[in-house]
Amino acid sequence: MDSTRSSRRSFLTTTTLAAAAVAAASARSGATPSGPRGKAYRLRLGLASYSTRKLTLDQTLEVCRDVDIAYINLKDFHLPMTDSPEAIAAARTKIEAAGLRIMGGGTITLKNDPAQVKQAFEYARMGGFPLIVAAPEPAAFDTIEKAIQEFDIKVAVHNHGPEDKAFKAPQDAYKLLKGRDKRFGLCMDIGHATRAGVDPVKAVDEVQDRLFDVHVKDLKDKTNKDSQCEVGKGALDIPGLFRALLKIGFPGHVALEYEINAEDPRVGIRESFSYMRGVLDAL
């Protein structure tokens, strides 16, 4: 039997019991969750709002409240880059008032165009993004590095799997970051990395000095983009990933990017968080 699949089945049992124990303890004490449950604080588990791309900002905030999510990466569906500074400020206030910590924004395309890059950084500053998750042109790296130094906003290059001509895996960007500003790093998408033939667990160690952000998803078939499923129901080694992140003391955002059931992703988001929190409780 595949060792990853066996490990996952074992964790499904353990995490279900762990989650039940946490819920029972909260019920006995009358406590109201004020942040990520159980031991989930050990990693900053949050949501990439691409997961709720068909929902409004208000609906996305409702999902975060109902699932007890404390961290968010904003896609421009929910904070449009074309909005006025006043509208962006108002949306930012609403998000923060809902108890969410903004961990970044994106994915944002960054072209080899100083004006376009500057516009993206100005948007990030207005939106309160400490980090831009980026899909950059390789030729734009010098321009991006200058903007990082000007705005003091981190940039994390997102890998997009076999379809991505430049950055199929995190290591493809990692090679180009050698010697550059330490605020220029990586957002590892574990699903796309897996489809590119990379083991995300091993990659954590290999790129840890540049790893700022992680996008989590699961796949039933490690080679098939269309086999995405709720986290914990697929073939990816989520316990191994979390162990690796805890081992390096990962301080960044571990964001669920749930790309299926776009019209109503609520159930899948809840199931994925239940599993991920259970894994952390059990580790």
Average pLDDT for 173-184:
98
Average pLDDT for 27-35:
36
Q: Which residue has the higher pLDDT, 31 or 3?
A: 3
The pLDDT confidence band at residue 40, using thresholds 50, 70 and 90, is low
Tens digit of pLDDT for each residue in 45-67? 999 999 999 999 999 999 999 99
Tens digit of pLDDT for each residue in 225-254? 999 999 999 999 999 999 999 999 999 999
Domains contained in the chain, CATH given: 3-23+36-282 (3.20.20.150)
Burial of 137 (0-12, 13-18, 19+ CB in 10 A): middle
Average pLDDT for 142-167:
97
Share the mean pLDDT of the chain.
Answer: 90
The pLDDT confidence band at residue 268, using thresholds 50, 70 and 90, is very high
User: Residue 67: what pLDDT?
Assistant: 96
User: Residue 39: what pLDDT?
Assistant: 64
The Cα 214–Cα 196 span in angstroms is 16
User: Residue 41: what pLDDT?
Assistant: 77
User: Residue 83: what pLDDT?
Assistant: 97
Q: What is the pTM of this model?
A: 0.88
